[in-house]
Homo-oligomer: A and B are copies of this chain.
C-alpha cells in the first residue's frame, strides 16, 4: 500500500480517436468527482500539448446531462494530439501540474500514450514530485499488449463487419471484383473483423490480406482470379498495412514500381501516408484490371468512418470503455498502485464477460500486439478461433438472408 495522495487530477486524450473514447472520459469524470482524494478534476485540451500550455478546463463543472450526451459523441471531446513528448516537454507539463496542485495524471490512448504515462511516472519520480500516472486504453487497432482487447475495437469491428455485409450484398447485385481497404498499419485485427458477418464461403470477403503476412502482388491477382472464376465475383479485405518481405508498405513498392507521384506521399513522421487517401485501393484495383482485363473492378477505402461513425457503436464496447475510465480512478486512489494501465480479462464460461485489472505501464508501452498464429488462417484468411474471440466485442452481427428461392 502506498500513501493516498491528495490533489487535483488531470486527464488527456491522445492519438487517433474512437467512437467510445468519450465513454472512458465520462467514466473517469464520474469516478473522479466522487473520489475523496481528488480535489479538482481538470481536462487538458489536446492531451500533453494542453498540459504543457496550461490549457485546462474544469471537468467537475460539467452536469450529468452533458456528460451522458458526450459519452455517445465520437472522437476526443477534449481534443487529441499526436506527440511523443521528450524529457523537456514533460518538465514543462510538470510546471503546470505544480501550479494546479495536480497529483493524478490520466491519459487515454494507445501504446504511445502508455509510453508517455510511463515516462511521466519515471520523470516525476526522479524529480521527487509525487504523482500517480495511469493509462486508460483505447484504440480501434486492438494492438495493445496484455489486455484481452482494447476499448474502441469492438465498435470499429462492428462498423467494418456491417460494411462488408452490405458491400457483399451490393456485389451480389452487380457482380465484379471489389477491394475494400481497412485501417490498421501494424496489425490485422480490424481487417479480420471484415469476416464477422459471413455465413459461409460464398459470402464476402472471400480473401483477407493482413499485415501479419507478407503480401505478394502476384499471388494476390491469382487468388482474386481464382475466386472470380469460381463465384463470378470477388470481395477482398485488405489492411492498409500490407507490406513486402522487407517490411516496406505495398503502396511504396507499387509507387516506385509505377514511378508515379505517389512515391512522395509521406506524412509528418516520414511514413507513407496510408489513411486519408484512396491510393492503396486504387493501386490494387489497377493490378487486378491489368491481370484480368475487361471485368468490373472497384475499390473503396473505408477511411475515418471506421473510427468516427456515430450511429453503429458496439453496446458492449460502450459499457467497457466507460468502465476502464472508472477503474483507472479507483486504482489510482486505492493506495494499491502508484501507476498502471487498465486491462481487460475475459472470464471463463460460455457467456462473454470481461473484468478489469491493472498492469504495469511498461508492459503496455511502446510495443504492439499482432494477431496470434491460431487466429490466422491460410495466407488469405482467418480462423474460427478469431471469430469466436471477436464477435462478442461487437455486440453481435446479425446474419444476412437470401430469398429461399435463390440458393447460391
Copies, count:
2
Contact between A300 and B310, CB atoms less than 8 A apart: no
- Of all chain B residues, which has the CB nearest A275? B298
Enumerate A166-183 residues with CB–CB distance to B below 8 Å. 166-167, 169-170, 172-174, 178
| A58 in contact (CB, < 8 A) | yes
Cβ contact within 8 Å between A300 and B301: yes
Interface 0/1 of A301-320, CB less than 8 Å to B: 11111011111100000000
Nearest B residue to A77, CB-CB: B403
Which partner residue on chain B sits nearest A16 by CB separation? Answer: B174
- B75 x A403 contact (CB < 8 A): no
Residue A2 CB within 8 A of the other chain:
no
> B74 near A169 (CB under 8 angstroms)?
yes
Q: Are A311 and B308 in contact (CB under 8 A)?
A: no
> Is the Cβ of A268 less than 8 Å from the Cβ of B296?
yes
A298-B304, A300-B276 given; A170·B75 CB < 8 A: yes
Report the separation of the CA atoms of residues A19 and B62 in the bound assembly, to the nearest whole angstrom: 39
State how many angstroms separate the Cβ of A177 from the closest Cβ of chain B: 10
Residues of B within 8 A of A281 (CB): 277-278
Chain A 376-408 interface mask (CB, 8 Å, partner B; 1/0): 000000000000000000000000111111100
- In the complex formed, the residue of B with least CB distance to A277 is B282
Residues of B within 8 A of A81 (CB): 174
CB pair B74 A170 closer than 8 Å: yes
Which chain B residues border A299 with CB–CB below 8 Å? 276-278
Determine which residue in A74, A276, A285, A297 has the highest number of CB atoms from chain B within 10 A of its CB, and name it.
A276
A13 to B278, CA, bound (A): 30
Known: A77-B402, A80-B174, A169-B74. A277 touches B285 (CB 8 A): yes
Return chain B residues, CB-CB under 8 Å to A406.
45, 57, 77-78
**Is A43 in the interface zone, CB < 8 Å from B?**
yes
Question: Is A82 located at the chain interface by the 8 A CB criterion?
Answer: yes
- Report chain B residues within 8 Å CB of A75: 166, 169-170, 172-173
Residue of B nearest to A47 (CB): B173
A405 to B45, CA, bound (A): 11
CB distance from A160 to the nearest CB of B (A): 11
A11 to chain B, nearest CB (A): 12
Do A300 and B304 touch (CB < 8 A)? Answer: yes
Q: Does A163 contact B (CB under 8 A)?
A: yes
Across-interface contacts of A307 in B (CB, < 8 A): 170
- Interface size (A, Cβ < 8 Å)? 73
The answer to whether A166 and B305 touch (CB under 8 A), given A43-B403, A62-B405, is yes
In contact, B404 and A61 (Cβ under 8 angstroms): yes
In the complex, A297→B304 CA distance in Å?
A: 13
Q: Give the docked Cα–Cα distance between A299 and B173 (Å).
A: 28
Contact indicator B19/A166 (Cβ below 8 Å): yes
Q: Are A305 and B305 in contact (CB under 8 A)?
A: yes
Q: Which of A157-199 contact B (CB under 8 A)?
A: 158, 162-163, 165-167, 169-170, 172-174, 178
**A169 and B305 within 8 A (CB):** no
A88 at the interface (CB under 8 A from B): no
A167 to chain B, nearest CB (A): 6
A405 near B57 (CB under 8 angstroms)? yes
A32 to chain B, nearest CB (A): 14
Query: Which residue numbers of A lie inside 8 Å of B, CB to CB?
Result: 13, 16-17, 19, 43, 45, 57-59, 61-63, 66, 69-70, 73-82, 158, 162-163, 165-167, 169-170, 172-174, 178, 258, 260-261, 268, 275-279, 281-282, 285-286, 296-305, 307-312, 400-406
Ordered by A's residue number, 24 sampled pairs between the chains whose C-beta atoms are within 8 Å are A59-B405, A66-B403, A73-B400, A73-B401, A75-B173, A77-B402, A77-B403, A78-B403, A81-B174, A82-B174, A162-B311, A163-B305, A166-B305, A167-B308, A170-B304, A258-B261, A260-B261, A268-B296, A276-B285, A277-B278, A277-B285, A278-B278, A300-B303, A310-B400
